[in-house]
Amino acid sequence: MLNDKTALRSRLLAARAAMSPEQRQQAGLALGHRALELLPARLPAVVAGYVSVGAEPGTLALLDELRARGVQVLLPLLRPDNDLDWGAYQGAESLVGARRGLREPAGAPLGTEAVCRADLVLMPGLAVDRRGVRLGRGGGSYDRVLARLAAADSRAPLVTLLYDHEVLPEVPAEAHDRPVDAAVTPSKLWRFGA
Average model confidence (pLDDT) across the chain: 92
- In the predicted structure, residue 158 carries a pLDDT above the cut 90: yes
Q: Using CA atoms, how far apart are residues 95 and 87, in angstroms rounded to an integer?
A: 10
- Read off the pLDDT of residues 110-144 as tens digits, 9 standing for 90 and up: 999 999 999 999 999 999 999 999 998 878 899 99
Cβ partners under 8 Å of residue 178, min gap 6 = 146, 147, 150, 158
> How many independent structural domains does the chain possess?
1
Q: Using CA atoms, how far apart are residues 167 and 160, in angstroms rounded to an integer?
A: 10
- CATH number of the domain where residue 92 is located: 3.40.50.10420
- In the predicted structure, residue 179 carries a pLDDT above the cut 60: yes
Residue ranges making up the domain that contains 144: 2-191
- Give the residue-averaged pLDDT of 150-170: 95
Q: Beta-carbon neighbour count of residue 110 at 10 Å?
A: 17
Residue, of 38 and 135, whose pLDDT is higher: 135
- Give the residue-averaged pLDDT of 48-70: 94
- In the predicted structure, residue 59 carries a pLDDT above the cut 70: yes
Q: What percent of the chain has pLDDT over 90?
A: 78
